[in-house]
Amino acid sequence: MKKTAQLLSVLIALGLVGPAAAQSDPPAPSVVVASAKLEELQKQDNFVGRVVAGQSVDLQARVEGVLLEVNFIEGGAVTKGDVLFRIEKRKYAASVEGAQAALKSAQASALSAKTELDRQQKLFEKGDVPQSVLDTAKAAYDEGQASVDEAQANLKIAQIALDLTDIISPLDGRIGLSSIDAGNIVNTDSGVLATVTSVDPILVSFFVSEPVLLRERRNGSISPQGIKLATRITLADGQAYETEGKVTYVGDSVSQDTDTIELRATFSNPDGFLIPGQFVNVTLSGSDDSRVLTVPRNAVQFDKQGYFVFSVDSKDTVHRIDIEIGSQTATRTQVKSGLKDGDRVVVQGLQKIHDGLLVKPVDSQS
């Protein structure tokens, strides 16, 4: 080995062997690259929210009577129009029948008065009766018509009271506990008998800071033309709820105590998985559909000249590219200038490269 080295030195000295033959070029270093690409780069903010019912109705008795039936399972689902409580009807049914009889009597009297008015009108036209007789007949007819109108109104009132003996669900949803059992007397002073709450769709209420509100107003996500904000929620067990929500309400004032404003997002909840009162983590993101050019965040470098990346061209040569950045997420950075869609940038191996270096690029798997 020593003799070989001495011989090589002699040959180099004589110019018979070049220095390159004595030592081969180092191999091109391997680097991991990823492509710049167009995508939606949305801002995300996280808040604590609470699930609230879109509608909640307290059921109360509006007529007095014995409660005959409680027709629901406490905590179960109910459908709009279901009869949930039934009050004894007999007294109210009798009132309806009495009102119907009074109406018939009034109608008969009115018919008789009409007949008499017609007869007196003919006699008056012949000059057989004076004006006063005709006026009296007209007054009797008008009184009869008023009695008919009154009887019809009384019948409607009686029918309304009869209908109110059935307490029905005003909406689809779930019903809570019943505060009273069948057999008790109920009336307008009995208070809330049960509460029905809607569950599909359901709302999530959360509060955002004033700077967040101003930011979203400036970028057009909240405007008189509509609200363009999407939400995702994470449940107490850490699992994400599968359906995305849409912000449908923005409060009309900022709380002076907390400098926050309430937002409400609507979520589809067909299985009743979400229930009022649950705490959830809310992720708020802008729903602007514009696509922007982004690169992995770990590709972006910074020095005294500003932000830059190392780009790899089609010949696998590295070039420093100065860029202007925009919004960022945890993993992506928006590039406003300097790159185009599809450009390859180095994301790993940055410490061993420089401008003009030939490299062996390996595509990123992420």
Q: Which residues contact 264 (CB under 8 A, 6 or more apart)?
A: 52, 203, 204, 205, 206, 247, 248, 249
Residue 22 has pLDDT above 50, yes or no: no
How high does pLDDT run on average in the chain?
Answer: 87
Half-sphere exposure of 248 (CA within 13 A, CB side): 12
Residue 124 has pLDDT above 60, yes or no: yes
Contact 72, 84 (CB under 8 A): yes
Cis amide leading into 201 (omega within 30): yes
- The residue whose two tokens read 């019948």 is 155
Token digits of residue 216: 């979203």
Give tens-digit pLDDT for 189-244: 999 999 999 988 999 999 988 888 888 888 788 888 888 888 889 998 888 898 88
Q: Hey, what amino acid is at 254?
A: V
**DSSP tag of 190:** S
Of the candidates 344, 345, 327, the residue with the CA atom closest to the CA atom of residue 336 = 327
Mean pLDDT of 38-65: 85
Residue 23 has pLDDT above 50, yes or no: yes
Contact 281, 261 (CB under 8 A): no
Residue 285 has pLDDT above 80, yes or no: no
If phi > 0 it is left, if psi is from -120 to 50 it is alpha, else beta; for residue 322 that is beta
Task: Say how many Å lie between the first and final Cα of the chain, rounded.
Answer: 48
Give tens-digit pLDDT for 52-75: 998 899 999 999 999 999 999 998
Of the candidates 71, 7, 34, the residue with the CA atom closest to the CA atom of residue 333 = 34
Contact 30, 362 (CB under 8 A): yes
Token digits of residue 356: 């003009």
- The residue whose two tokens read 């002076």 is 256
Contact 363, 34 (CB under 8 A): yes
Residue 146 has pLDDT above 90, yes or no: yes
Rounded Cα distance between 241 and 257, Å, is: 31
Rounded Cα distance between 8 and 22, Å, is: 8
User: Which one has a higher pLDDT value, 7 or 25?
Assistant: 25
Question: Is the pTM here over 0.85, yes or no?
Answer: no
> What confidence category does residue 19 fall into, taking pLDDT thresholds of 50, 70 and 90?
low
Domains defined for the chain, CATH in brackets: 30-40+291-363 (2.40.420.20), 45-54+200-286 (2.40.30.170), 57-195 (2.40.50.100)
Q: Hey, what amino acid is at 129?
A: V
The per-residue DSSP string of 46-89 comes to: EEEEEEE-S-EEEEE-SS-EEEEEE-S-TT-EE-TT-EEEEE--
353-to-88, 128, 276, 303, 321 alpha-carbon distances in Å: 89, 126, 57, 16, 13
User: Which one has a higher pLDDT value, 43 or 80?
Assistant: 80
- pLDDT score of 288: 47
Rounded Cα distance between 254 and 262, Å, is: 8
